[in-house]
Amino acid sequence: MVLAYYSSAAVRSVIEGVRVNAGTQHTIGREGRRLRVASTEREGYRPIGRAERSEQCDTGVRLQAGTATVEVAALAPDLFRVGLFLNGRPLDYTSEAIAKMEWELTQVQSSSANGELSLCTGAARVRISLDPLRIRFEDASGRVFAEDDPERGMGFFARPKVGGREEALGPAVRLYKRHPAGERYFGCGERTGGLEKTASHQIFWNIDPPGGHNPGHNNLYTSIPFIVAMQDGKAWGLFLANTYHVEFDLAHEDVDCSWFGAAGGDLIYYVFCGPSIRSVLDRYTELTGRTPMAPLWALGYHQSRYSYMDADELRSVAHEFRRRRIPCDVLYLDIHYMDGYRVFTWDRERFPDPPQLIAELQEQGFHVVTIIDPGVKVDDRYQVYLEGREQDFFCKTADGGEYHNVVWPGLCAFPDFTSSATRAWWGSRHQAPLDDGVAGIWCDMNEPSLFVPFHSTMPDDVVHLGDGDPKLHAQIHNLYGSLMARATREALQALCPDRRPFVISRSGFAGLQRHALLWTGDNNSWWEHLWMSVPQLQNLGLSGLAWVGADIGGFFGDTNPELLTRWMELGVFQPFCRNHSALDTRRQEPWAFGEPYESIMKKMMQLRQRLIPYLYTVFEECHRTGAPILRPLFFENPDDETTYAVEDEFLLGSALLIAPITRHGDEYRHVYVPEGTWFHLWSGKQIEGPSHILAEAPLGEPPIYVRANTPIPLWPEMSHVGERPADPLTLLIFPAAGQGELTLYEDAGDGYDYQQGFYSRRRITCETSVDQIIVRLDERKGSFVPERKEVHLEIREVPAPPESVHVNGQQIVPEYDDGRRTLIVRLPEVGAGTGVNVRAGIS
């Protein structure tokens, strides 16, 4: 079927012609790997028993129970860390996932009574009962959460002493927590199976699922062993910092209990006490790192295809965009730009003069991104391979040889990204593409995905030398993708210190957000996958990965005009907005199907382009606080439990509600509108939430609602970022009794001057009563002054011409459009605060 290109004779002959030189072969099952851990205590689970000794340490307490050391520490008033170390292992918390190791000392009050120790930070408390050693948490309101199961608590699986790999991995570890009735789980990263995770089993092991993923696949390319638990509007979170094969059983085997386990390593987990969902995400992203600011151009529309085959094809795609004035900022080159799939090379027949081509495209406002895979062709005449081999930069077999497997180029070696020298070398290789004018790097196949057996990954016993601390692949598998992205980002940063790196990755682990944005890999051009992407993107946002997107139009298989158009209606609201499709599938550039589809897609893409100042403001909030860009309704409405089940709608920031159409032929859909007053974007119809409505949504008018009184900043129409100065800035406002606000963030759009105060933050408020609308633009904070001369207020749904309009106390002649019920107020982009007072009836 859709995998036609995999079974092409050429690829088959490569695969069949090669004997892989190492490793245990295994096929990909549902969880992608065999080494599963026994699932019940009958199979050898040993809970930790009595704590015999305890001693205070800096931020907490260290306890000894048999051969286990358990440490509980408060890293912040609402963040605790628990570590279980067996058999005298060192208390080592360093992890590739963790961005912040050093925390200011938190004031902790410890006390003990009735066989129980307690550490209190004021905001939260951890209680540790000593016999047996069990842990539970409490917040200032007395809410108890993340409570150890009394019987099972923390513990491990004693393995039969068989020697070899299993023993090297050490015992599997596990943590059992009570699941109180009514507690609901979310998060878990890139999941296709809907929004809520209660009563599910979750596997964390990066794979490239064969044939494109579907809801039956659990683990995909990226693993984020993190949950957010919600109950009665309050949240807490748990992150298991373990890079081995990890599983969560979330009230699935046992409705009263959840477990969090790893196939080996230390059991280290972090508890985020909330109680707000915002504060859980804030701390989680403080711990694992925040999304760096994007270059502004990267918020535009991206066009990709596997592959634009040569320079002329890329030129003509670029030309079509500009000729039709369809906005586009970025074009992609997939694997065919390379010479025989050798990374960091060009096929000189297809692309005779890359710098010239890219310069030409830059002239027209395009950025060009090229794909890089980790597999390096084993080829004695290929410089990259020779360097890597000479300097020992590749992953090793158990007996010390170079580990080889097949990917696109044929037999390949794989950089050992666990070693800093390898990362630096790999990074330095990016000088060439940057010199050619490439604007960003696309890291693919970095699970890593291998062809022998088809769609497998590295065997457990491949050796990574690291920086003097060798590891088996089984111990670091989930990190390979993140480490490749890290090498790439660090290189772009070092080689172009004044630019914000643009890196896109398919695979990663918790913390990937520091290095790259993520796209969700190979979906299909199916309605089901359009639907699936809606909760999937929300799951990612709830797991710290906020800059995300699914391939618009679907990757595998042929799209069709209605599907592509509906997908675009959703896709333009993805934090990362890219249309991509596979080899030998029908073309799906926005003009592929003619009218009316082209015009509708163009209208949606123009809306995205106009929304960039809003998107950038929301992006900066994410960068600063970890709040998802594309967020579930319950992120803003945690007290309304109806929202917990709303998985086919989302909020972009807090002011736009999007309810995409995801089924063929549908022109109506149910929409749950959360609390507040909202306006239907196309008709201006006012809706009071919370309510269930039937939205009319013909092709070209997807259900989009704007929160009343929140000013939405919009650019004028442009074909790409920087086409001309974005002047004027429009503030779109739908007034309704009440008030709203937005703090507009702007900066130079690239570089790092914003860190020295070269940004602008401007609070804009709107207060509406029955006969008056007052808009205030506060003074700008920060030293950045946008180039534009004017700000326009576009006040919609004003039923009659206003009685009067005052700007800073001066009456002006209103510009009112009867037909559109719209009032326009033109203001100079002045430095000081501006007040606009409109006397108009709004009902």
Torsional sign, CA 482, 483, 489, 493: positive
Q: Considering the complex, what minimum distance in angstroms separates the CB of residue 565 from ligand MIG?
A: 22
How far apart are CB 491 and ligand MIG at their closest, in Å? Answer: 20
Residues 499-558 interacting with ligand MIG (rule: CB under 6 A): 506, 521-522
Interface mask (CB under 6 A) for ligand MIG, residues 395-434, using x and -? ----------------------------------------
The least distance separating ligand MIG from the CB of residue 450, rounded to whole angstroms, comes to 10
Tokens of 625: 């606080």
Binding mask 561-600 for ligand MIG (x = CB under 6 A): -------------------x--------------------
Nearer to ligand MIG, 436 or 447 (CB): 447
How many Cβ atoms sit within 10 Å of the Cβ of residue 14? 18
Among 402, 444, 701, 746, binds ligand MIG (CB under 6 A): 444
Q: Judged by CB, which is closer to ligand MIG: 137, or 454? A: 454
Residue 190 is a binding residue for ligand MIG (CB under 6 A): no
CB of 579 to ligand MIG, least distance (A): 12
Q: Which is nearer to ligand MIG, 127 or 213 (CB)?
A: 213
The CB-of-362 to ligand MIG minimum distance in angstroms stands at 23
Given a contact cutoff of 8 angstroms between Cβ atoms, the answer to whether 823 and 838 are in contact is yes
Give me the least distance between CB of 373 and ligand MIG, in Å please.
7
Question: Half-sphere exposure of residue 180, counting CA atoms within 13 Å on the CB side?
Answer: 13
Considering only residues 301 through 340, tell me which ones interact with ligand MIG, judged by CB under 6 A.
306, 334-335
Letter for the amino acid at 454?
F
Query: In angstroms, rounded to a whole number, what is the distance separating the alpha carbons of residues 604 and 721?
Result: 16
**Nearest alpha-carbon partner for 224 in 443, 485, 467, 518:** 518
Q: How far is the CB of 205 from ligand MIG (least distance, A)?
A: 18
Residue 752's CB: how many other CB atoms inside 10 A? 16
Q: Of 335 and 681, which has the nearer Cβ to ligand MIG? A: 335
For ligand MIG, the closer of residues 303 and 837 by Cβ is 303
Q: Residue number with the shortest CB distance to ligand MIG?
A: 306
Kindly state the DSSP code that residue 88 receives in the 8-state scheme: T
Q: Which is nearer to ligand MIG, 18 or 824 (CB)?
A: 18
- Contact call for residues 573 and 652 (beta carbons, < 8 A): yes
DSSP 14-67: HHHT----SS------SSS-S-PPP-SGGGTEEE-----EEEEETTEEEEEETT
- E strand or H helix that includes residue 538: helix 527-541
- Verify binding: residue 649, ligand MIG, rule CB under 6 A: no
Nearest to 684 by CA among 777, 794, 598, 838: 794
Instruction: Compute the CA torsion angle 534, 540, 542, 545 (nearest 10 deg).
Output: -140
Q: Which residues of 480-501 are buried (b: 16+ CB within 10 A; e: fewer)?
A: bbbbbbbbbbbbbbebeeebbb
As measured in angstroms, the least distance from the Cβ of 445 to ligand MIG is 6
> Is 209 in contact with 229 (CB distance < 8 Å)?
no
Query: What is the Cα–Cα distance from 667 to 697, expressed in whole angstroms?
Result: 5
Taking the least distance from each CB to ligand MIG, the nearer of 133 and 369 is 369
Can residue 371 be called a binding residue for ligand MIG (CB under 6 A)? Answer: yes
Cβ distance to ligand MIG smaller for residue 96 or 208: 208
Neighbours of 27 (CB within 10 A): 12
Strand order of the β-sheet with 577-579 is 548-549, 517-519, 503-505, 440-443, 367-372, 330-333, 301-303, 577-579
Touching ligand MIG, residues 696-725 (CB under 6 A): none
CB of 427 vs ligand MIG, minimal distance in Å: 21
Helices and strands counted in the chain (H then E): 14, 51
Where helices occur in 391-479 by DSSP H, the ranges are: 420-428, 431-436, 473-476
Q: Cβ of residue 730: shortest distance to ligand MIG, in angstroms?
A: 36
Which residue, 211 or 751, is less far from ligand MIG as judged by CB? Answer: 211
Q: Are 502 and 295 in contact (CB under 8 A)?
A: yes
58 HSE (CA, 13 A, CB side):
9
The one-letter amino acid code at 495 reads: L
- Tokens representing 684 are 């201006």
Site string for ligand MIG, 269-308 (x = CB under 6 A): -------------------------------------x--
Count of residues engaged in binding ligand MIG, rule: CB under 6 A: 10
- The binding track of 5-44 with respect to ligand MIG, each residue x by CB under 6 A or -, is ----------------------------------------
**CB of residue 410 vs ligand MIG: minimum separation in angstroms?**
14
For residue 550, CA distances in Å to 256, 568, 583, 602, 648 come to: 35, 11, 17, 19, 15
Give the pairing type, strands 222-223 and 517-519: unpaired
Q: How far is the CB of 406 from ligand MIG (least distance, A)?
A: 11
Q: Partners of 839 in the beta sheet?
A: 772, 804
For the segment 720-759, give every residue that binds ligand MIG (CB under 6 A): none
Q: Of 5, 143, 1, which Cα lies nearest the Cα of 582?
A: 5
Question: How near is the Cβ of 449 to ligand MIG at its closest, in Å?
Answer: 7
Nearest to 180 by CA among 237, 271, 255, 261: 255
Complex with ligand MIG: residue 549 or 676, whichever CB lies closer: 549
Q: Residue 4 or residue 737: which is nearer to ligand MIG going by CB? A: 4
Annotated active-site positions, please? 444, 447, 522
CB contact at 8 A, 494 and 431: no
Decide whether 418 or 585 has the Cβ nearer to ligand MIG. Answer: 585
- CB of 299 or CB of 445, closer to ligand MIG: 445
Rule CB under 6 A: which residues touch ligand MIG? 306, 334-335, 371, 444-445, 506, 521-522, 580
